[in-house]
Amino acid sequence: MLKTSHKWVLGVVLLLILILPFLMAPHKGDAELFTGADSQAEGLIGEITPGYKPWFNPVFEPPSGEIESLLFSLQAALGAGVIGYYVGYNRRKSGDEA
Amino acid sequence: MHIMEGYLPAKHALAWTAASAPFIVYGTARLARVLKEKPETKMLLGVSSAFTFVLSALKLPSVTGSCSHPTGTGLGTILFGPWVMPVIGCIVLLFQALLLAHGGITTLGANTFSMAIVGPFVAWWIMLGGKKLGMPLPVRVFLAASLGDLATYVTTSLQLAIAFPDPVGGIAASFAKFSTIFAFTQVPLAVIEGIVTVFVFNLILTYNYQDLSELQVISLVRPKEVDDKC
């Protein structure tokens, strides 16, 4: 479906989009850069409706930022493992050595 | 796009859960039928789930100076049609709500609606519409995945705007504010999701055309395009 030249172009565009934010993200004084959009929305809710209190708390919260990254990495790693297995399996099956 | 636990007023939380429920029920029935009639697609279903797992775990920086993540629901939709991802997406969201304190049980319905229902259906319609317009397959896959991703974040903004209308400008003003956080941030990430989906779809098409012929996707692929695979 894709020509090799297309893959290169797409790959380069992908890299550029990943790098670009670090070069051109607006600096907001002391404010922390690259915080999560979800928590920013939380802040905006507080601005629009001062005094809104969440009426339910998460059942379990990762005890620290490190543990949270660990769980997110596990999630990504598990998924990537399955995809890698699938691709390898089918590559072998189709007898394609390229 | 995760609305945090407890951050939707109870009535809204309930309404979105009610809106999502029929999709999950019907989707589960469709999923069971696919697995029963075409057990050989099990692996591809695993890949679709895995893809959502990976992409929704990756929080990427955006040019707006904040971080957000792709949804990964486009691939499964393109392969299996729009009814399978609501179930898979809901499972991913449940996992994140229970173990990662991302999203929540009370907001599961709303988050499922944006990520696992609106996103996939938009992606599906783009696949169909693109075919009618005669767009090449990679272009259709790219547009379906990226615009489906974007539609999810627009939906989240709308859900929050309805729940928290601006005291002065109402829902419209509030929607503009939430969109700045979610939808604008998402534009470059949606492009990333589109490109990654094209890559993975290409891999699947290259090595597994046999399985694909069993699925929805084959009705969307014109025979010539399959021969063009490389």
Give the pLDDT confidence score for residue B123 in this predicted structure. Answer: 97
Instruction: Determine contact: A69 vs chain B, CB below 8 A.
Output: no
Tell which wins on pLDDT, A33 or B23: B23
How does pLDDT run across A16-57, given as a tens digit for each residue? 999 999 888 776 666 678 888 988 999 999 999 998 999 999
Which residue in the set A20, A35, A83 is minimally distant from B51, CB to CB?
A83
Q: Which residues of chain A have a CB within 8 Å of the CB of B185?
A: 37
For the whole model, what pTM was predicted?
Answer: 0.92
Q: What percent of chain B has pLDDT over 70?
A: 91
Q: State ipTM.
A: 0.90
Instruction: Determine contact: A70 vs chain B, CB below 8 A.
Output: no
**Distance separating alpha carbons of residues A41 and B175, to the nearest angstrom:** 11
Edge-first strand listing for the sheet containing B66-68: A35-36, B66-68, B60-61
How does pLDDT run across B104-131, given as a tens digit for each residue? 999 999 999 999 999 999 999 999 999 8
- Given an 8 Å threshold on Cβ–Cβ distance, is B100 in contact with A72? yes
Give the pLDDT confidence score for residue A92 in this predicted structure. Answer: 84
Give the pLDDT confidence score for residue B207 in this predicted structure. Answer: 80
Which residue in the set B9, B44, B63 is minimally distant from A25, CB to CB?
B63
Q: What is the mean pLDDT of residues B158-171?
A: 95
**Distance separating alpha carbons of residues B102 and B107, to the nearest angstrom:** 10
Which residue from B79, B162, B181, B178 is spatially nearest to B120, judged by alpha carbons? B79
Q: What is the mean pLDDT of residues B45-64?
A: 93
Average pLDDT over chain A, rounded to whole?
87
Give the pLDDT confidence score for residue B219 in this predicted structure. Answer: 59
